[in-house]
Amino acid sequence: MTRGEIIAIALLLAAIAVAAFLRFDQLGAPSYWLDELLGDQLTTHHAATAPWWRWITGLEHEHGPLFYAAQLAARVTGHDEFAGRLPAALFGLAAIPLVFFAARELGGWAAGIAAAIVLAASPLHVYYSREARPYALLMLLTAVMLVALLRMRLGLAIVPAVAMLYTSAVAGPLLLAIALTCFFRRLWIFGGMTAAAAVLVPLLYRGEARPGPPSFDEHVAARIVHALTVSARGIEGHEATIAFLFLFAAFGAVVLARRDRRAAAIAIGMTLLPIVCALASLAAIGHWFTERYISPAVIGFVVLAGVGIAEVARWIRVPWLAAVVAAAIATDTWGAARPEPFEKLDWRAIGAALERHVKPGDAIVTAEAWSDASLRYYLPHLPPGVRVAGGVNSVMVAEMLANGGPVWFVTAGWSDASPVRDWICRYPLLLASEREDFRLHYAPSARHFIQQRSAAEDVRAVAAALGPNVALHSGRDDELFRGDGWQGPEGGPREEFRWATAKEASLIVPRLAPRDRRVVVHALPLAHRSLPAQTMQLSLNGTNVGTVSMPFEWRDYTFNAPAALWREGLNTLTFTFGRVTVPATLGPPFSDPRPLAVAFDHVSITETGSPQPPPPVIDVRLASEALFRTRCVVTRKHSEERLREVAVKALFARLGFDPESAWRELRPEDAASAIAAESACESDRAFLDRAFYVIAERNPNPGELADLLPRMQRGTTRVEIIGRVLKAIDVRQRLTK
């Protein structure tokens, strides 16, 4: 073995090691998405119990016996996400040396190494090597077929052709593409064999596919270009890498065409024709497009690119420069290959959050089949008496609400018609994500959620949003904290008051760590010459704080509440009155038939300093740290700007994040983007108002409205609008040092 061959083998092993890390590290960390969990359920309830002859004639309409056999075999390691994705990761890893052999066949050792390195960090290949789906197997079989055709091994070619047939219905266009490639080069036996396999695909996969969103649009070409090069999800960027990879692939094709037309036709055909045949078949059946349908084309593409890279290196007489160039490309594509497989909606965390929050008697309503299947899979431990209902309409939901039980509404994914999805916008939003258009709403109200269903971190977020010195004004900002014993607000704007109408009336207020606090009540008693003086006693969490006698005038009543009486979380302030009177019983001119005790203007709870009203908007959300990546992108954390901790934590709290956890994990820009993700039920103007309320604690001024509203109408995304709001001078001055 020569020194060059030893170096080549070492580089190949290094590429395989990098590929193994990208494909196996935290393989089971992301939760399944819909297609993966459906595949898991079909493996358990259909494939595992199917009679033997179904393994020959076909198991179901979408994927084949070989895929399900691999899934069942992997269960010797367990029955979780890691086990479900293990076959795909192994298939993806096995494709690396096969691509090396194919490229070496065409362009020598340098070409093989370059192709292996590029494929090792190919975002498309990595992504589908980390999904419990059959696409990694199809890419592996494509690599086997390419080697077989290049070496003219009919026996070897039969194996991937039959395996493709028994892997997935998606193999139909791929087999057709291979057959056309063979016929073009007059490889009649190879072409006939793969054409026969393609003809059998409709017979093996009988049935009707699930409907899906129409997305076969003018962006398909750009998505294909990006998928083959820099992003499995067709995300734009990295233009230089895209250009170089396509130039290298084109140059490799030209070099092969001059050197060996048969080999060139095979390599080019197995790059272009799988794309053409996939698009043609999708258009013919009216199916939507997604990048996975053209994933086998990445094998031929990286082989051509490897040949082109090696040929350029040979021209400048530095053969191993090919490995350096390929490594530079892999370094750039790593930025997508590493994070993209993790960018899935975390149904596992959503299910765990619901299991923690729900109580017997609650109902969970799913708006469409997508959310119903995904949520049920991750709700294995619901408390007794909690019902999960799918396929309901607004009338059925109204009946549930009339029965008095809280209802959690979940919507996600695509649906051709789901009136419940829009109807639930009338209820408070607790959680949302741009991924899968997920939303979680709660009925009857945000107040009921905070007081009856919230967890400790949810309460911490609201307490921090209120601030240490809070003044709750009747009718304007106290509704979230009202307990029993109150009438609705009365009076004009900014002059509202509210009557206590029972012997006891309560406020339930979130507070942070126990501290000495002062409670100041601005109130007026109902008075009449025939009535004794009114008295008011304040109790905090069941302990008497003090009692006052109330003359007939608006005035402040101050109670000192020591730290020992407060607790971290919800605190109940109970006002007990000496009497409750119906004014109508007092004779003319009184006619009010309501029982009335005391009219409240505001209640202040202060530590040090003057009381402040709550911010205009407090986003009550599920604030668990496990849900941060559901609500927003987490880039953590290093910012070039020095941030004011107190101000940033206050912003996190107003956004509905637990500020202590968010300060460790999130940048303000990432957290604020949650406003956009959670705005599906809002108009542009309502979204803009809330963005300014939460971020800047003010209304947008006329100049900002004149700038930002037209931008949204021209297509500027709401996430981009959030970025502009954060750049407002007053916001930057508040958040940065």
Would 77 be classed as within a structural domain? no
Rounded mean pLDDT of 569-573? 97
Q: How many whole angstroms separate alpha carbon 144 and alpha carbon 157?
A: 7
CA distances from 255 to 102, 160, 263, 315, 526 (A): 15, 28, 11, 12, 96
Res 230 pLDDT > 80: yes
Whether 56 maps to a domain, the answer reads: no
Q: 302 and 362: one domain? A: no
Element (H, E) at 411: strand 407-411
Range with the largest mean pLDDT of 235-239, 418-422, 685-689 = 685-689
pLDDT over 80 at 639, yes or no:
no
Q: Residue 609: is its pLDDT beyond 60?
A: yes
- Asked whether residue 316 falls in the same domain as residue 377, the answer is no
Average pLDDT over residues 667-685: 94
Instruction: Decide if pLDDT at 214 tops 70.
Output: no
Specify whether 161 is located in the same domain as 266: yes
What does the pLDDT read at residue 709?
Answer: 95
pLDDT at residue 647 above 90?
Answer: yes
Task: Determine if the peptide bond prior to 637 is cis (ω within 30°).
Answer: yes
Start-end of H helices in 230-377:
239-259, 261-285, 297-315, 321-337, 347-357, 369-377
- 21 inside domain: no
Q: What is the CA radius of gyration of the chain?
A: 32
381 CB-near residues (< 8 Å, 6+ apart): 355
- Residue 14 inside a domain? The answer is no
How many domains does the chain divide into?
A: 4
Per-residue model confidence as pLDDT tens digits over 283-324 = 888 888 899 999 999 999 999 999 999 999 999 888 789 999
Q: Are 139 and 125 in contact (CB under 8 A)?
A: yes
Higher-scoring residue by pLDDT: 504, 211: 504
**Arithmetic mean of pLDDT, 641-660:** 92
- Structure confidence at residue 309 (pLDDT): 97
Per-residue pLDDT reduced to its tens digit, 124-140: 999 999 999 999 999 99
pLDDT at 213: 58
Domain boundary among 419, 452, 485: 452
Q: Do 134 and 253 fall into the same domain?
A: yes
Lowest mean pLDDT among 34-38, 81-85, 615-619: 615-619
Q: What is the DSSP string of 118-172?
A: HHHT-HHHHHHTTSSSSHHHHHHHHHHHHHHHHHT-HHHHHHHHHHHHTTBTTHH
Q: What's the mean pLDDT when you consider all of the chain?
A: 92
Q: Is residue 76 part of a domain?
A: no
- Burial tier of 658 (Cβ tally within 10 Å: 0-12, 13-18, 19+): buried
Q: Which of 92-96, 438-442, 584-588 has the lowest mean pLDDT?
A: 584-588
CATH number of the CATH domain containing 545: 2.60.120.260
State the pLDDT at residue 211.
55
Gap between the Cα atoms of 143 and 174, Å rounded: 12
* 316 and 354 assigned to the same domain: no
Tokens of 347: 């149904």
**Of 658, 263, 637, whose CA–CA distance to 461 is shortest?**
658
Q: How far apart are CA 527 and CA 353, in angstroms?
A: 49
pLDDT at 640 over 70: no
Q: How far apart are CA 446 and CA 488, in angstroms?
A: 17
Residue 583 pLDDT exceeds 80: yes
Q: Are residues 119 and 150 in the same domain?
A: yes
At 101 the pLDDT is: 96
Two structure tokens written together for 656: 């509905």
Q: What is the pLDDT of residues 238-262, one digit of tens each?
A: 899 999 999 999 999 999 999 999 9
Residues 6+ away with beta carbon under 8 Å from 218: none
* Contact between residue 143 and residue 99 where contact means Cβ atoms under 8 Å apart: yes
388 with 363, same domain: the answer is yes
Residue 652 domain flag: yes
Helix 297-315 × helix 239-259 angle, to 10°: 80
Q: Give the pTM.
A: 0.92
Task: Specify if 459 maps to a domain.
Answer: no
Q: Which of 324, 342, 360 corresponds to the end of one domain?
A: 342
Identify whether residues 271 and 228 lie together within a single domain: yes
Domain boundary residue, one of 395, 427, 452: 452
* Residues above pLDDT 90, as percent of the chain: 80
Same domain, 669 and 689: yes
Residues 366 and 307 both lie in one domain: no
Average pLDDT over residues 37-59: 93
Q: Say if residue 215's pLDDT is above 90.
A: no
Whether residue 436 sits in one domain with residue 383: yes
Please say whether the beta carbons of 198 and 179 come within 8 A. yes
Q: What is the pLDDT of residues 314-341, one digit of tens each?
A: 998 887 899 999 999 999 999 999 999 9
Domain hosting residue 666, numbered range: 625-735
Instruction: Extract the tokens encoding 662.
Output: 């968010």
What is the pLDDT at residue 421?
81
Alpha carbons 734 and 373: distance in angstroms, whole number: 44
Return the structure tokens found at 447: 């107040």
What lies within 8 Å, CB to CB, of 297 at 6+ separation is 228, 270, 271, 272, 274, 275
User: If phi over 0 gives left and psi between -120 and 50 gives alpha, with beta otherwise, what is residue 525?
Assistant: beta
650 found inside a domain: yes
Confidence of residue 209 (pLDDT cuts 50, 70, 90): low
Label residue 172 by pLDDT band (50, 70, 90): very high
The whole-number pLDDT of residue 288 equals 86
**Residue 492 pLDDT greater than 70, yes or no:** yes
pLDDT digits 0-9 by tens, 504-554: 999 999 999 999 999 999 999 999 988 999 999 999 999 999 999 999 999
Q: Are 493 and 499 in contact (CB under 8 A)?
A: no
141 and 284 together in one domain: yes
Q: Is the peptide bond before 444 cis (omega within 30 degrees of 0)?
A: yes
pLDDT of residue 500: 96
